């Protein structure tokens, strides 16, 4: 997010077909809630294309990249590493410490898919649980970012958007940069 150290989300593991929607939502959630970049495995091309398309249409800056070696990304990361896992320390116990440390260092936030290797737990600076109950990588990421950014992510603005949603109590309104109302009453998709 503007004005802070770089925050990158690594989606660790992806099963094509089965995980397509979840991996896409990891990317969309990362973009919407304050990350600067998402890293997908190289077999998640469909999800990467969808997130890139949304970024083109709804604005940035936000980068989508793919890697053929997620383990190497973690190993070589020059900064701090948070691994979101139901087995980790409660977010409410470590959020202040993480925020303080990230003031000076970039942050890699890892969310898994099916199962992550144990080395990742060892490599992480913090293994963080959003509750210690099993749920989803998207929910974990959303709560983590809201705690980490203390709500500031909700006030972000987006540059170079082809379309912008105008909040309305009822109905749907989407405008293009020239203020032309291109989808009043439509869904804007
Ligand atoms: N046993 C896994 C674990 O370590 O959390 C659950 C797998 S879950 C289907 C996929 C991903 O969701 C996990 O790798 C983790 O990143 C995230 N996740 C699930 N529950 C979570 C929780 N309570 N807190 C933080 N992240 C969670």
pLDDT digits (tens, 9 = 90+) for 131-167: 999 999 999 999 999 999 999 999 999 999 999 999 9
Q: How far is the CA of 135 from the centre of ligand 1 (A)?
A: 6
Distance from C-alpha of 132 to C-alpha of 71, rounded to nearest angstrom: 25
Which atom, in ligand 1's list, is nearest to the CA of 128? 25
The model's confidence at residue 185, banded by pLDDT at 50, 70 and 90, is very low
* Mean pLDDT, the chain, integer: 92
With 0-12 CB in 10 A as exposed, 13-18 as middle and 19+ as buried, what is 85? buried
Selected residue with higher pLDDT from 121 and 115: 121
pLDDT of residue 73 exceeding 60: yes
Identify the pLDDT of residue 186: 43
The pLDDT of 160-175, averaged and rounded, is: 95
Identify the pLDDT of residue 4: 75
pLDDT of residue 32 exceeding 90: yes
Residue whose CA is closest, atom 21 of ligand 1? 86
pLDDT of residue 172 exceeding 90: yes
Distance from C-alpha of 166 to C-alpha of 181, rounded to nearest angstrom: 10
Is the CB–ligand 1 distance for residue 134 below 6 Å? yes
Q: Are strands 107-112 and 7-12 parallel, antiparallel or unpaired?
A: parallel
pLDDT in tens, 90-108: 999 999 999 989 878 899 9
Distance from C-alpha of 102 to C-alpha of 96, rounded to nearest angstrom: 10
Judge whether 7 and 35 are in contact, CB under 8 Å: yes
Ligand 1 site-directed mutation target among 137, 142, 143, 148, most atoms within 8 Å of CB: 137
pLDDT of residue 19 exceeding 50: yes
SS3 106: coil
The pLDDT of 42-52, averaged and rounded, is: 98
Distance from C-alpha of 118 to C-alpha of 155, rounded to nearest angstrom: 37
User: Which residues, 6 or more positions from 108, have their beta carbon under 8 angstroms from its beta carbon?
Assistant: 8, 9, 10, 73, 74, 77, 79, 80, 81, 82
pLDDT of residue 69 exceeding 50: yes
Ligand 1 site-directed mutation target among 140, 141, 143, 147, most atoms within 8 Å of CB: 140
Alpha carbon 154 to chain centroid distance? 13
Distance from C-alpha of 75 to C-alpha of 90, rounded to nearest angstrom: 24
Query: Nearest 5 degrees, angle CA 145-CA 151-CA 149?
Result: 45
Q: How many CA atoms does the CB half-sphere of 168 hold within 13 Å?
A: 13
The model's confidence at residue 182, banded by pLDDT at 50, 70 and 90, is very low
């Amino acid at each position: 997010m503007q004005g802070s150290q770089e925050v990158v989300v690594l989606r660790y593991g992806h099963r094509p077909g089965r995980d397509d929607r979840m991996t896409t939502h990891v990317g969309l959630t990362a973009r919407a809630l304050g990350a600067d970049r998402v890293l997908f495995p190289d077999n998640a091309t469909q999800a990467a294309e969808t997130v890139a398309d949304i970024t083109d249409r709804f604005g940035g800056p936000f980068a989508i990249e793919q890697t053929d070696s997620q383990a190497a990304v973690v190993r070589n990361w020059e900064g701090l590493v948070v691994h979101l896992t139901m087995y980790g320390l409660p977010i409410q116990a470590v959020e202040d410490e993480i925020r303080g440390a990230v003031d000076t260092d970039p942050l890699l936030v890892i969310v898994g898919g099916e199962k992550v290797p144990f080395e990742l737990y060892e490599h992480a600076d913090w293994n963080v649980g959003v509750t210690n109950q099993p749920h989803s990588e998207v929910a974990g990421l959303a709560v983590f970012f809201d705690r980490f950014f203390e709500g500031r992510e909700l006030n972000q603005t987006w540059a170079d958007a082809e379309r912008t949603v105008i909040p309305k109590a009822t109905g749907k309104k989407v405008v293009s940069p020239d203020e032309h109302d291109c989808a009043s009453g439509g869904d804007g998709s």
